[in-house]
Structure 1
């Protein structure tokens, strides 16, 4: 791509972990070499802490649509708790990614993990946002853990950061995008 027609990828959040995850995932696809990445504080339009697959995906859709401006792609990332039978808490945390090209939504989800019971209970029964629940449970002094290593970083002892955790969701959305033949240039 020449500088004049560089693809713009707008990430619907100012969270540096989300931008990092998007850049890392896009770097794995040569069709996006030379892309320019920008952030745009795009509201999710859902609860601060989405619960359920549909609400989580809707938040990612809204962020992607809000971020896209004219040409290129809007990317929305949203983490939420989804019910999973057989888990201790009944829920797992996952990240959904949506890439919006102006016509179609290209969706992907990443790995999921179970939260500590104390955190999960606060989120579900007290409608508490995950950052607040992690802080109140005494797992971190940081009140914005989602902008740092994330809960996954704490639970894994730094082996997996929040950005690491989100890269697979973005990659799966990119697979959907390229499978539809959209990943060869501009939308």
Structure 2
């Protein structure tokens, strides 16, 4: 199966490869960079979901032989009195079916929050704070916060795996409507 992923980010590409492999789905993952119609720093659950879905659909449309398009988007959501960074993945197919999965979320450091809510990307804030260029293409802010015990790839992998759950052959009867 050819899987188009809406990014050039190696963390996201590896996460998609590993998620398909985890479930025994043979996949050749092809990058198909897609910029969704959401701000560079998505804020709000609907915006983050929209970014993932639009990336998945755009990736699928760019690679004619692909059976699936995968989009991964991270953004800020409010929960109770705090803001979390969450990773959301969407898998789209040629029949128009889109499945969605969420990865783990972590609390955004309070000093970053005012800047983030004004549109500054969390990755840029992390790069400045940790003085580590391209941190989002490496371990991500979560990697810096956890001293690499958990990385951005781990969050992406979890989200993509959850988006694949309804597509697993033994689960499809449960998800047919």
TM-score normalized by structure 1?
0.85
Gaps of 5+ in 1: 1-6, 182-187
Q: How far apart, CA to CA, are the structure 2 residues paired with 1:105 and 1:169?
A: 14
Could you say which residue in structure 2 is the equivalent of 1:19? 13
Q: How far apart, CA to CA, are the structure 2 residues paired with 1:16 and 1:174?
A: 20
Q: How far apart, CA to CA, are the structure 1 residues paired with 2:53 and 2:38?
A: 10
How much has 1:177 moved relative to structure 2? 2.1
Deviations 1:17-72 (A, max 9, x none): 00011111111112x12x21110111121000100110000000111001113341
Alignment counterpart, residue 81 of structure 1, candidates 76, 79, 96: 76
Q: How many residues were matched structurally?
A: 167
Could you say which residue in structure 1 is the equivalent of 2:29? 37
Q: 1:45-84 maps to which residues of 2 (within 5 A)?
A: 45-68=37-60, 69-70=63-64, 71-84=66-79
Deviations 1:148-181 (A, max 9, x none): 1100000001101110121111110000222336
| Preserved CA contact (<8 Å) 1:108 1:176 | no
Deviations 1:65-93 (A, max 9, x none): 0111334100000001001104xxx2101
| Preserved CA contact (<8 Å) 1:131 1:143 | no
User: Residue 20 of structure 1: SS of its match in structure 2?
Assistant: helix
User: Residue 61 of structure 1: SS of its match in structure 2?
Assistant: helix
Q: How far apart, CA to CA, are the structure 1 residues paired with 2:116 and 2:167?
A: 33
Q: 1:92-171 maps to which residues of 2 (within 5 A)?
A: 92-102=84-94, 103-124=96-117, 126-136=118-128, 138=129, 140-171=130-161
Gaps of 5+ in 2: none
Deviations 1:127-153 (A, max 9, x none): 1111222233x2x22342111110000
TM-score normalized by structure 2?
0.89
